[in-house]
Structure formats: C-alpha cells, structure tokens
C-alpha cells in the first residue's frame, strides 16, 4: 500500500515534468507585437524509412518470427504520410537475410519456412511449399502483419496477411487461412511492421 502510493506520486511527478518540457528542436513563439509575422516552425521529426516485415516460422517448435528489414530511401525520395515508399520489387537477398534470423535459432534449419504456407503443407513440411512474397508486408501501405494458423497434429499450418490495424491484419490472415487451407484457423496473431521509435 505504502509503495503503491509512492509509485503513483512518482508517476504523477514524471508526467508533470514530461508535459512541462519542450521537445528538442521545438521553437517558441513570441506574440509581443514587435514582429509582423511569427517565425516559421518546421517539423524536426524525420519520416520513417521503409520497413519490410517478414513472417518466418520454425515448424519444429511452431515459433513465428517477425523479421523487419529497413530499406534506405533514395536521395530524391519524397515521403508520403510521414513514411518513405518501399520498393515494388524486393531483392531476393532481403528474403534470404530475413530467413537467416530463424536459421540461427532453429534446432533444425530445415524447419525454417516463410509463414504463408500452401495447402497440404501439413503432409510435406518443406520451404518450397511456402511463399516469400505473401509472407511480407511493407510499411508504406500497411501498419501490421498478421498470421492465422490451424493445428495439424503437432504442427501449425499458417497463412499471412497485411492490415492497417492489428485486428484487420488478424482477420485478413484468418480469412486467407480458412479459404486456402479449408480449415478453421483459430490461432491468430499480429505485430507492427514499423519498430517502435
């Protein structure tokens, strides 16, 4: 009880100090009447770079990984909605690097596959029965990458979708999974494409 009261007091004080400060690079405005036009205030926050998120799965443990790959904008790139656009064609090496994240963690590297799986994957768990292009989402269009799976014995068989919200990504992945796999896909999840700032 005593610790809880002190904790609330500290949180309240932290909030007061946080609210009372100006962000770095912010300008103050003076309306004293001496200036004909107030100074121009520019936004000092940088637009977010393109991020491509891959859903990678270790089918030996049923672990799913979201691997984020940043893409530097070209020098003449112009951001839209606070984000730089992503390339329309993603080089194969980007997918290979994403897969390496699973390979270093997996007990058996053969179990590392892309998260979007073909129908029949439960009978032949092979990376060739997964799709790289439908296991990724780009940050210039979407905010979340979702996954939905059904349980085939000890193995999760999954499909991936992109969405604007966490719930939309889950719902779209579930719909894709149920149509493609012809099963009820009750295991769902989603993650943000852009890493937290």
Domain parsing of the chain, residue ranges:
50-192
What's the pLDDT score for residue 39?
Answer: 53
What's the pLDDT score for residue 42?
Answer: 45
What's the pLDDT score for residue 109?
Answer: 87
Question: How is residue 76 annotated by DSSP?
Answer: T
Q: What is the pTM of this model?
A: 0.74
What's the pLDDT score for residue 81?
Answer: 81
36 to 18, 30, 40, 53, 194: CA distances (angstroms): 32, 11, 12, 49, 42
What's the pLDDT score for residue 46?
Answer: 76
What's the pLDDT score for residue 55?
Answer: 97
Question: How crowded is residue 20: how many other Cβ atoms within 10 Å of its Cβ?
Answer: 7
Kindly give the residue spans of alpha helices, DSSP state H, lying in the chain: 2-19, 92-103, 166-181
What's the pLDDT score for residue 107?
Answer: 81
What's the pLDDT score for residue 190?
Answer: 97
What's the pLDDT score for residue 24?
Answer: 37
Question: How is residue 128 annotated by DSSP?
Answer: G
Averaged in consecutive runs of 10 residues, what is the pLDDT profile of the chain (197 residues)? 44 37 37 49 68 94 92 86 86 90 87 95 93 95 96 96 97 98 96 83
What's the pLDDT score for residue 177?
Answer: 98
């Amino acid at each position: 009880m005593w610790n809880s009261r002190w904790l609330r007091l500290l949180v309240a004080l932290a909030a007061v100090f946080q609210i009372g400060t100006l962000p770095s690079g912010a300008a103050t405005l003076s309306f004293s009447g001496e200036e004909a036009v107030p100074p121009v205030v520019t936004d000092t926050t940088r637009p977010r770079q393109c991020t491509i998120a891959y859903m990678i799965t270790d089918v030996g443990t049923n672990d799913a990984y979201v691997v984020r790959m940043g893409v530097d904008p070209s020098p003449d790139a112009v951001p839209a909605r606070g984000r730089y656009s992503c390339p329309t064609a993603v080089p194969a090496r980007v997918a290979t690097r994403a897969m390496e994240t699973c390979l270093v963690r997996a007990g058996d590297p053969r179990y590392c596959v892309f998260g979007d799986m073909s129908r029949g994957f439960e009978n032949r768990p092979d990376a060739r029965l997964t799709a790289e292009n439908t296991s990724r989402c780009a940050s210039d269009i979407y905010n979340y990458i979702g996954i939905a799976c059904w349980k085939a014995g000890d193995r999760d068989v999954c499909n991936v979708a992109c969405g604007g919200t966490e719930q939309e990504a889950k719902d779209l992945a579930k719909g894709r999974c149920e149509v493609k796999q012809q099963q009820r896909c009750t295991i769902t999840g989603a993650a943000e494409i852009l890493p937290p700032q």
